[in-house]
Amino acid sequence: ERNGFFYSCDINLNPVDPDEWLHSGAPRHWKSIIERIDVWSGFLAMWYGIATKEQAERMVKENYLNERTFYSDYGICSLGKSEKMYKIQVSGNPSCWLGPIWGISNFVLFESLLKYGYTDLARDMAEKTVTMFGRDIEKHGEMHEYYDPETGEGVHNRGFQSWNVMSVLMYQWLKDNT
């Protein structure tokens, strides 16, 4: 309530193992239990319909539309820009969730905005996502896994198709609602 946002909690923080394959691409570089972190998944409370209308309004105005946290001209940053861990970097296993734009987070926020009646903001999210992916396809012939929030350029893993294809649903919604 204090921050107008929903947070995840990780109480099972294991020590960093440099030989573990899963985190070899981007090992955790913080050493304490994270109690509060501005991460895009906080918006899942809207997507699931858990947030009240008042909570959703605060989340949108104080968090999503705040250029110091999640807002980007290309969608929603996966980690708030004011977080100490915020860093746009190439990593493949696990992939970088420390700030880049991801198609899945843009899609989830798009649907969340629609659910709570923020049609104009949802339209904006759909347009910026479809445009970013379209430019990437025009330039490289395929999409990347994640994107730089300052430039909209693909950062890593060209040829990624998974949830990025959900942008077709955004494109269809734009086509049906213009």
Q: What percent of the chain shows pLDDT beyond 70?
A: 87
pLDDT-derived band at 159 (thresholds 50, 70, 90) equals confident
User: Is 31's pLDDT higher than 60?
Assistant: no
Kindly state the helix (H) or strand (E) to which residue 156 belongs, with its residue range: strand 154-156
Distance set, CA 14 to CA 28, 30, 93 (Å): 10, 12, 17
Residues forming beta bridges with residue 146, ordered by sequence position: 102, 156
User: Is 13's pLDDT higher than 70?
Assistant: no
Q: What is the pLDDT of residue 60?
A: 97
**Six token digits for residue 106:** 């843009």
DSSP secondary structure, 114-125, as one string: HHTT-HHHHHHH
User: For residue range 160-177, what is the model confidence (pLDDT) as tens digits?
Assistant: 778 888 899 999 999 999
DSSP secondary structure, 46-113, as one string: HHTT-S-HHHHHHIIIIIIT-TTTTEETTEEBSB-TTSTT------BTTB--SS-EEHHHHHHHHHHH
User: For residue range 114-135, what is the model confidence (pLDDT) as tens digits?
Assistant: 999 999 999 999 999 999 999 9
